[in-house]
Amino acid sequence: MIQISPQDFEKPSAQALEDNINAKYADKVIHKHGLCLGLFDILSTSEGLIGHGTGIVNVNVDFRLIVFRPFRGEILQGRITANNFEGIRISMDFFDDIWVPGPHMLFDNTKYNATEEAWVWTTDEGHELFFDRNETVRFRVEAETWTDLSPEKQTPPGEEAEEEARPSPYQITASMQQSGLGPLLWWDQSEEIAEE
């Protein structure tokens, strides 16, 4: 059921429906489905029924959405946004809740360097390779975590709301412990060395 308010009546019907569907679903996590990116297409619509006294038109719509939900084992590419002793945070620009716990989801011989504020992998040859912030990386999806967030509590008038960190409704746990995973720069350099 999509509601079209009177201020949208000047738009063509299809545009008004598309705008209202995107306003309701786009850039939101649908529990156990994934992050909705936007409307793909409209399959069918009913005739609109005008609500008594409101002027809002109610339309039953069948539609498809574009949803981001990678499968387990999928290899994706993102950018390191944070490094700390617990692991690495990765962003894909449209999705920021990707977490690589360290050190067990990183290569063997990887340790956190507090001075550099980065994880460092020491290869068998003794080279130190850094997981630097803003570095483009490949990672493998290992698990997903869903958190059902209850509606926020209303603060009574005159009282200040308490600031508490809300958990993410959808988080991906990833790894970078296989050949080809980690910063792209590492693997580009190794291909150049192999060609020489």
Provide the pLDDT for residue 99.
96
Distance CA 195, CA 14 (A): 55
Query: What domains are there in the chain, each with its CATH number?
Result: 2-68 (3.30.1490.120), 75-153+162-195 (2.40.50.140)
Provide the pLDDT for residue 148.
83
Q: Is the pLDDT of residue 195 over 50?
A: no
Instruction: Find all residues with CB under 8 Å of 177, minimum gap 6, and list them.
Output: 105, 106, 107, 108
* HSE toward the beta carbon, residue 82, CA cutoff 13 A: 11
Percent of the chain scoring above 90 in pLDDT: 64
Confidence of residue 175 (pLDDT cuts 50, 70, 90): very high
Q: Which of 99, 115, 96 is nearest to 35 (CA)?
A: 96
| 113-172 per-position pLDDT tens digit | 999 899 999 988 888 999 999 999 999 999 999 998 766 654 455 555 555 677 889 999
Confidence of residue 61 (pLDDT cuts 50, 70, 90): very high
Provide the pLDDT for residue 162.
56
Provide the pLDDT for residue 102.
87
Provide the pLDDT for residue 76.
97
- Please provide the average confidence, as pLDDT, over all residues in the chain: 87
Q: What average pLDDT does the segment 174-184 reach?
A: 93
| 7-43 per-position pLDDT tens digit | 888 889 889 999 999 999 999 999 999 999 999 999 9
The burial class, CB within 10 Å (0-12 / 13-18 / 19+), for 131 is buried
Provide the pLDDT for residue 68.
96
Do residues 84 and 29 lie in contact, with contact meaning Cβ atoms separated by under 8 Å?
A: no
Q: Is the pLDDT of residue 75 over 90?
A: yes
Provide the pLDDT for residue 6.
85
Provide the pLDDT for residue 97.
94
